[in-house]
Amino acid sequence: MLKYLKYFLIIFTVIIFFNSCSTVPITGRSQLDLIPDNEMLSMSFQQYDQFLKDNKESTNQQQTTIVKKVGERVAKAVEQYFTQNNLAQQLQGYKWEFHIIDSKEVNAWCMPGGKVVVYTGILPITKTEAGLAVVLGHEIAHAVAKHGNERMSQAMIAQLGGVALSQALKEKPALTQNIFMTAFGIGTQVGVLLPFSRLQESEADHLGLIFMAMAGYNPNEALDFWQRMASAQNGQAPPEFLSDHPSDQTRIEKIKNEIPEAMKYYNK
C-alpha cells in the first residue's frame, strides 16, 4: 500500500509541476510558476501602496517627469511586444505606475502588475533618459518574465512546504511578506533568500535591451550605463544587484553580443 502511495505522490508532484510551469517570452525558458497571477497582483498592489506610504517621494518635478516619461515609453513597448506575440493575456490586470523615492540607495524595482519604484540614488548613474531606460527595461523585464513569481514559488516550497499564498498569508504573514519583498529585490538587506538568480539577471538584461530599443532608446547606451554602474559600485553592489549576478565584465560582454538582435527592434 505504501509503495502505491509513493508512486501516487510522485505522479501527483509531476502533474502539479507541469501544470505550474510557464514560458519566459523571448528566451523561451520554462519556469516554475506556482502562485496564481491574481493572488500575485493583489499582494503586489497592497505591498506597493504600503511601500509608498512608508517612504518619502521625491518632490523634484523634473526627476518625476523624466521617470514617468521613460517608464511609460518602456511600458508601451512591452505591451506592444506582448500584443504582437499573442501574449497580451499575460499582462492582464497590469496597472502601470511609476514613483520616485527620495533615497541614497542605488536601486529600482518593478513589482508584478507594473508597479515601479526608482530611487533618486540611482539617477547620477543613469544620467540620461537612455540610461534610465536601461534600468527600467531591466526591472520591468523581471516583472513581465515573472521572475518574482518563480523566485517566490521556490521559496514557498523551501520555507513553507508549498502551501497556497493565501494560506501562508494567514498563518505566517510576516514571513510571507518578507519572502515577497525579497523575491522582488526590495529592502536593503539580504533576507531569507537572495533576490534574483544569475540566469534571471541575464534574462532581464536581454529582454530589457529589446524593450528599451522598441521604446526608442539606442541599446548601445546600455554598455555605457553598465560601465558607469561598475565604476560607481566600488566593490559594493546595490541592493537589486546583491543577487547572484554575473561579474560586471561578463555582463557587459554578454550585453555586447545581444545588441545586434536588439538593434532589429530599435525604433529610432
Q: Which residues contact Zn ion (rule: CB under 5 A)?
A: 201, 204
CB of 150 to Zn ion, least distance (A): 13
Strand partners, 31: 22
What nine digits make up the cell of 260?
Answer: 545586434
Measured from the CB atom, is 194 or 259 closer to Zn ion? Answer: 194
Amino acid at 239: P
The CB-of-141 to Zn ion minimum distance in angstroms stands at: 8
Q: Would you state the cell numbers that stand for residue 253, as one nine-digit string?
A: 560582454
Question: Other C-beta atoms within 10 Å of 119: how many?
Answer: 21
Would you state the cell numbers that stand for residue 54, as one nine-digit string? 512608508
Shorter beta-carbon distance to Zn ion: residue 168 or 204 = 204
Compute CA distances 259 → 28, 128, 206, whole Å.
19, 19, 9
| Shortest distance, position 208 Cβ to Zn ion, whole Å | 9
Q: How far is the CB of 63 from Zn ion (least distance, A)?
A: 22
Burial code of 35-51, b = ≥16 C-beta within 10 A, e = fewer?
bebeebbbbbbebbeeb
Measured from the CB of residue 9, what is the shortest distance to Zn ion in angstroms? 36
Q: 31 by DSSP, 3-state: which?
A: strand
226, 245 Cβ separation under 8 angstroms: no
Question: What does the block give as the cell for 209?
Answer: 535591451
Question: Closer CB to Zn ion, residue 107 or residue 168?
Answer: 107
Which residue, 204 or 214, is less far from Zn ion as judged by CB? 204
Report the C-alpha gap between 13 and 7 in whole angstroms.
10
Q: Residue 24 or 204: which CB sits closer to Zn ion? A: 204
Query: Least CB distance from residue 6 to Zn ion, whole Å?
Result: 40
Nearest residue relative to Zn ion (C-beta): 204
Closer of 184 and 217 to Zn ion (Cβ): 184
Least distance between Zn ion and beta carbon 148 (Å): 11
Kindly tell me which of 156 and 204 has the beta carbon lying closer to Zn ion.
204
E-strand spans in 85-195? 97-101, 108-111, 115-119
Nearest to 199 by CA among 244, 237, 140, 158: 244
Identity of the residue, 41 or 110, whose beta carbon is nearer to Zn ion in the bound complex: 110
Residues 6+ apart with CB under 8 A from 123: 63, 132
Give least dist CB 197 to Zn ion, A.
Answer: 10
